[in-house]
Structure 1
Amino acid sequence: MAAAQPDAAQAAKSSVAAEIRAQVGGKYKNFYGRRGYWPIWVDQDRIGPQADALLALIEDSGADGLDPDDYDPQELKQRIAAADNGDPKALARAELALSRAFTDIVADMRRPARDVRMRYLDKEVEPQEAEPSEILRVAALAPSLSDYVRDAGWMSPLYMRLRNARARYDAQWAQLPDLPVPEGVRMRPGGRSDAIAMLRERLGLAGGDAYDKALVARVKAFQGDHGLKPDGVAGAMTIAALNKGPGHYRRALALNLERARLLPGPWTRHVVVDAASAQLWYYSKGALDGSMKVVAGTKETQTPFMAGMIRYATLNPYWNIPPDLVANKVAPKILDGGSLKAMRYEALADWSVNPAPLAQSAIDWDAVAAGRQEVRVRQLPGGSNAMGKVKFMFPNNLGIYLHDTPQRNLLAKDDRHFSNGCVRLEDAQRLGRWFFGETPKAKSDAPEQHVPLPQPVPVYLTYLTAVPTKDGVTFLPDVYGRDGD
């Protein structure tokens, strides 16, 4: 009898497939036709647990700024219930209704908000309105459709973690009284004052005016979730963060969710660089493959908000020194008696691919230092080169790329905003192995050896000032002033 069960299951699915073939039409016929009209929501002779995962996602879709009623969950439940007796015709109706609801919610979750603008450098990374057949095809390839739906595998893991963290944040902090706390007043553990009483009320604690252990713990919790040192002391920065009010943080969470919405799901092989936290993640085959620290741009030389395709690596790279640094750093050293050769720099006649060299003596360094004249200067490859041993290129007119760095000390800092806009990598060799399947190696000491990637990889430079953590969410300083609040 046990051996006959698979045959019975196959026969049941075959009957459902025949009914799907009779009922399906429009945009869904292409998907089902290519798979012999085989269902994806039916297990043996009943609707499987993947449907429960979809219903749960729909009912919680308010977290995505969507309306659950748009996907008619009651009708879906009725279709599922009607198919409970195993009738192939009813199963086919439920199957198609589930597919329609699924493709609708996937498309809506992926749709970018109009008020979040990312610069797209290549057609491959521009957001596209996915066809229902493509949405279903990708879902059907997942090892577990239930897990794919439950985890919203078409969305960035950063989005889903932030989405889930927002619910925890709202429960803990967003409903507290929006009460201003006095600034410039000394409040420390062990003290008593009217200001401390207001602080207790603002943090949702019982009445009183004592800075006791309960208040210390609550202040620490607030500090930890808002990017502050959790010392339990209500200093000026903590009071300023409290006085921004719950509305400020709700808006920040919503804005950062929209930024994260632009990122692809983990089944797309890609790299994400977050300039706010100075972190990098890389994904493939539905999982996070690795992460690392980076150094991002300063407030004055910001790492941009954009996406492109990493197409090649450059080994033994030059560093083309930005004109402002040539004026502010290089020219004064030359005027003070230094030499380009000793600094392993060279001056060039223009910005062409094969520029003619310029003698140091042929340049008016006073004019360069004063900003009246520009000259191209680049650093020669080598151990001290600012690019390190390799840079990963996604062609753009801003001169932005990912690169190795000899300045390891900067990576040990909590605030890593020191670059001129490019992204300095904690472990360029490890990322190179992920790109190429092996460590890319130069064939000689020759400079600027370009090695194409086996397959171009999307890279997304984003800016997340609210980031998911193990216990919830934390808010980071808006270093670039992009949050507008």
Structure 2
Amino acid sequence: MRRIEQSMPGRPVRRLALALGLAASALVLTPGAALAQLAPADLAQELDDTGGDLGDLPAFYAARGYRPLWIADDAVDPAAQTLLALIHDARLDGVKPKKAREGDLRKALDRAEDPTPANLLRAEIAASRALAAYVQQMRKAPRAEIIAESPALMPGVPTTGAVLQMAAAAPSLDRFVAQMGWMNPWYAPLRQALARDDLDAPTRTVLDANLQRVRALPAFAKGRYVVVDAAAARLTMMQDGKAVGTMRVVVGKPDMPTPMMAGFLRYAQLNPYWNIPPDLVKARIAPNVLGKGLGYLKAKGYQVLSGWDDGARVIDPAMVDWQAVATGQTEARVRQLPGGDNFMGRVKFMFPNAQGIYLHDTPEKGLMKEDERQFSSGCVRLEDAPRLGRWLMGKPLPRGGKAIEQRVDLPVPVPVYITYLTAAPNAQGQIAFRADPYNRDGLGRDGLGVTGTRTANAR
């Protein structure tokens, strides 16, 4: 093993090693020497002599005193072979294995079968570089289109140092790699299922489509976020990478699908109006006005407004040509007052978006008992709005009195992701395949020939 030569100034890793007082501890090792004899300066030297762009790899090792990540007990950790197997099949992730340094890692691990200090340290560096490259390429891989309020909500490309810090912080390096701890926890089981050799083409199509959807979801190890799965019609509350609560929801019907999107839940609105979508005004409100008269509007708590702008005013419904509204020749803005059978219920949770989508309470609890819950006009109706409110606020929602549309800001904005998973892991470790009501997989609304849910083992 080469020594760090104090007489050669100017190399950044050498200078850093010297500053840490590591050069004095460098040893010349013979093949078969115990790993414990490897001095930090040896890894510093190996980094210094390694070609190519190392990015912030040297800084990562310097910060940990040049302690290896992948080497223990005179051998390379099994996690490196696990990583090599993943990279070999990286096309499942939309990544070319060469881009993830498959060849370099394979060669280094083969040489480390002869566990000389030089071979082990080269395997150490090759594994770190390969992991970083693989994660970075996965973050650049194709993913489902999602309407995002901010780029900050989308998975970004981490630095080499950030990837390795995640790996170093994991309780088990091998488990971190095997479970792809840099991805959303739903990703690795779906990928394992797709890696099977006995899959038919439609199943591969569905699994690949869902992997692309999960690649658009966060892998937050810390913090909170909400996931709404429109295919399962279910909301999940995530805390520090784990599901801490779930509830049924109603989402958009097939001809008015809930879009895949991401935003920050910023506030609750108590006693909200229900602004009725124009298609419902045409299909339901106008025919009832024509059949029952203008008294129908008052009995249902409906108001007619002059338009959709912020300055719109309440107008006399007699001014509206309801026949023209019923035939689609014109539109009328109608809203329902809070209370009673208002479709918004007591509260709605708001995140800015041009699509007019939000999460809200509902008086129609009976719909939550249905297996397929695609009944709304795009928004998300909640089975238990008060429970979500307590989780978001850290305390029960205020009663709010009778004032209309009271804004109550969340203590901290909470990310919300609306996705669409027709295949996802369940609590039993199996992949659950669901119907595809929006036909986004391209196999028809029944998906893989099912009208409900079926499961398959991931392996």
What range is the shorter-chain TM-score in?
0.7 to 0.9
Pair 444,60 (structure 1): closer, same or farther in 2 beyond 3 Å: same
SS at match of 2:217: coil
Distance in structure 2 (CA, Å) of the matches to 1:63 and 1:413 = 35
1:329 aligned onto 2:284: yes
The match for 1:303 among 239, 253, 258 is 258
1:101 matched residue in structure 2: 130
Find the aligned partners of 2:347 and 2:42 in 1 and give their Cα distance. 55
Distance change in 2, residues 1:112/1:90 (3 Å): closer
Query: Structure 2 vs 1, CA of residues 11 and 164 (structure 1 numbering), >3 Å: closer, same or farther?
Result: same
Contact 2:393 2:411 in 1 (8 A): yes
How far off its partner does 1:411 sit?
0.9
The whole-number CA distance in structure 2 between the counterparts of 1:154 and 1:426 is: 32
**Structure 1 counterpart of 2:102:** 71
User: CA 1:14–1:428 in 2, change beyond 3 Å: closer, same or farther?
Assistant: farther
Quote how far apart the aligned CAs of 1:35 are.
4.3
Aligned pairs (5 A) from 1:51-70: 51-59=80-88, 61=90, 63-64=92-93, 66=95, 70=101
Q: Is the 8 A contact 1:110 1:155 kept in 2?
A: no
Partner of 2:309: 352
Q: Distance in 2 between matches of 1:392 and 1:53?
A: 43
Task: Kindly indicate whether residue 356 of structure 2 is the aligned counterpart of residue 402 of structure 1.
Answer: no
TM-score by length of 1: 0.73
* 3-state SS of paired residue (2:212): helix
The alpha-carbon deviation at position 149 of structure 1 amounts to 1.7
| Conserved 8 A contact 1:166-1:473 | no
Contact 1:295 1:423 in 2 (8 A): yes
> Which whole-Å CA distance do the structure 2 matches of 1:105 and 1:256 have between them?
20
The 8 Å contact of residues 252 and 378 in structure 2, kept in 1 or not, is answered as yes
Partner of 1:294: 249
In the TM superposition, residue 255 of structure 1 has moved relative to its aligned partner by 2.1
Partner of 1:206: none
After alignment, is 155-164 or 14-23 more displaced? 14-23
Does the alignment pair 1:257 with 2:257?
no
What are the within-5 Å matches in structure 2 for residues 22-171 of structure 1?
22=48, 25-43=54-72, 47-59=76-88, 61=90, 63-64=92-93, 66=95, 70-72=101-103, 73-78=105-110, 80-81=112-113, 84=115, 87=117, 91-113=120-142, 116-167=144-195, 170-171=197-198
Residue 395 (structure 2) pairs with residue 438 (structure 1): yes
Give the match for residue 439 of structure 2.
481
| Aligned residue type for 1:373 | T
- Which residue number in structure 2 is paired with residue 414 of structure 1? 371
Q: Which one-letter code corresponds to 1:446 in the other structure?
A: A
Residues 108 and 122 of structure 2 are in contact (CA less than 8 Å); yes or no, is this contact kept in structure 1? no
Q: Distance in 2 between matches of 1:155 and 1:327?
A: 45
458-467 or 292-301: bigger deviation: 458-467
Asked if the contact 1:266/1:287 (under 8 Å) is kept, the reply is: no
CA distance in 2, matches of 1:311, 1:79: 54
Classify the secondary structure of the residue corresponding to 1:32. Answer: helix
Q: Which moved more, 1:56-65 or 1:334-343?
A: 56-65
SS in 2 for 1:341: helix
Q: Deviations over 1:301-326 (max 9, x none)?
A: 11112222222222222211111212
TM-align CA RMSD: 3.1
3-state SS, counterpart of residue 297 of structure 2: coil
The 1:113/1:65 distance shift into structure 2, 3 A limit, reads closer
1:248 aligns with 2:202: yes
1:393 — aligned with what?
350
Match of 1:161, as an amino acid? P
Amino acid at match of 1:477: A
The structure with the greater share of residues assigned to helix is 1
* CA–CA separation in structure 2 for the residues paired with 1:453 and 1:141: 31
Q: Tell me the alpha carbon deviations over residues 149-174 of structure 1, each in whole angstroms, 9 at most, x when there is no partner.
A: 22111222222222223356x54xx3
Shift of 1:28: 1.8
What CA distance in whole angstroms lies between the structure 1 residues aligned with 2:373 and 2:345?
18
Number of the residue aligned with 1:455:
412
Distance 2:212 2:350 in 1: 27
The aligned amino acid for 1:71 is E
Matched residues in 2 for 1:293 and 1:305: separation? 18
Corresponding position of 1:315: 270
Residue in 1 aligned with 2:297?
A: 340
Return the offset for 1:468: 3.4
Q: How far apart are 1:36 and its partner, in Å?
A: 4.5
Query: Which residue is equivalent to 1:427?
Result: 384
Q: Distance in 1 between matches of 2:412 and 2:57?
A: 31
TM-score by length of 2: 0.76
CA offset digits 1:284-314 (Å, max 9, x no partner):
3132222222211111111112222222222
Return closer, same or farther for 1:112/1:64 CA change in 2, 3 Å cut-off. Answer: closer
Q: Contact 1:295/1:418 (CA < 8 Å) preserved in 2?
A: yes
The alignment status of 1:267 with 2:221, answered yes or no, reads yes
Q: Unpaired segments of 5 or more residues in structure 1? A: 1-7, 175-245
Alignment of 1:464-479 (within 5 A): 464-469=421-426, 470=428, 472-479=430-437
- Asked whether the equivalents of residues 272 and 280 of structure 1 are also in contact (C-alpha less than 8 Å), the reply is yes
Unaligned runs of 5+ in 2: 1-33, 444-459
Q: Within 2, Cα distance between the matches of 1:439 and 1:16?
A: 58
Inter-partner Cα distance in structure 1 for 2:242 and 2:383: 21
Q: Is the 8 A contact 1:157 1:265 kept in 2?
A: yes
- Name the CA distance, whole Å, in 1 between partners of 2:266 and 2:440: 29
SS in 2 for 1:26: coil
User: Which residue number in structure 2 is paired with residue 281 of structure 1?
Assistant: 236
**In structure 1, distance between residues paired with 2:374 and 2:250:** 6
CA distance in 2, matches of 1:41, 1:445: 62
Q: Distance in 2 between matches of 1:23 and 1:310?
A: 49
Cα-to-partner distance string for 1:315-357 (whole Å, 9 max, x where unaligned): 2222111112122212233331334332122222232335322
Q: Distance in 1 between matches of 2:84 and 2:78?
A: 10
